[in-house]
Amino acid sequence: MSAYYVNFLVKSKPSLPAALVQYAARELMTRAESIKVSRQKVHEISTAPLPLSEWKLAYPNSLIEQTHVCNEAAHEMNWVQRLKKAMSASVSSRISWSELSAADYAPSQTALVFAPMVLDVSDDVLVTMAVMPKWFSADGVLLFATLANGSLPELVNAQPEWLDLFTHWHNIMDVGARLQALSFGLPVLDVETLTLSYSEFDTLWQDLVAFLPALQSKSDEETQVWWDKAHGLFNQGLRHISLEVLYGQVWQPNVKAAKTEHTVSLESLADQLTKRNYPS
């Protein structure tokens, strides 16, 4: 394979596999079954939204809102599409990551929001968590999924130098500490390991580039080196890679009332006590 083709894959910034994103969405849906929160409106924010029929089956009496996070600009709907949207019990929109994370982004407030693998679109997952409160209402719950740092052990075990590309992933303790620092209420976290299988190297490589943003900033020559490493492992029989998926559930950040503190000198306090005990 030429460096040109490798460079094309890197510069195109492929997304995480849609099957992985949708698997995580279904897992979040299962976790939401026990949550006591309004289901009048359900919002999915995703790079690969589930079929609308699945959401309507799970929440038949809810307004379903889906936001597709992608690099393509939102297209103008014709009158037929606008009519279908008005008559449907669903709302669909397209948005870029920069728009979703912008300071002035203000979606319609929803109590139950699912965000599978959306944080992985950003450059820094922990920093990005600060924008999550804008995605759901004050009395709502947000369920999210993101990749964690136990992913791709097959590469590290075979070639430890792959570990240099894993600095963007965090463990469950890092994420928990970040959520606490952001004052999210009742955070619940758990981790699951998934195994992906490949029969073709091109698909494996494209997914590795999507999983490892560090590859996307490499020069053609550097990328070719990593391609050769991965291709060598594939020729040696590598057909499966493991991913660690971290699932999270949070309520809106706790808003604590501002403290009212007064500084009183001992002399002033003694004077007040004297006047109280011996009024003039």
The rounded distance, in Å, linking the Cα atoms of 20 and 76 is 29
Per-residue model confidence (pLDDT) at position 43: 95
| pLDDT for residue 178 | 96
Can you state the percent helix, strand and coil of the chain, rounding each to 5?
Answer: 45, 20, 35
pLDDT greater at residue 1 or residue 19: 19
Say if residues 42 and 62 touch (Cβ distance below 8 Å): yes
Q: Quote the tokens at residue 247.
A: 């699932």
State the average pLDDT over residues 1-14: 45
Looking at residue 104, what is its pLDDT? 76
Is the whole model's pTM more than 0.95, yes or no? no
Specify the DSSP element, H or E, that contains 11.
Answer: helix 3-11
Q: Which two tokens stand for residue 221?
A: 């020559």
pLDDT tens digits, residue range 192-212?
A: 999 999 999 999 999 999 999
So what's the pLDDT on residue 271? 58
Q: In 3D, which of 35, 8, 9, 2 has the Cα closest to residue 212?
A: 9
What per-residue confidence (pLDDT) applies to 5?
Answer: 41
Q: What percent of the chain has pLDDT over 90?
A: 62
pLDDT tier, 268 (very low <50, low <70, confident <90, very high otherwise)? low
**Nearest Cα to Cα of residue 249 among 148, 118, 119, 115:** 115
Residue 92 · residue 63 · CB < 8 Å: no
For residue 186, the tally of other CB atoms under 10 A from its CB is 10
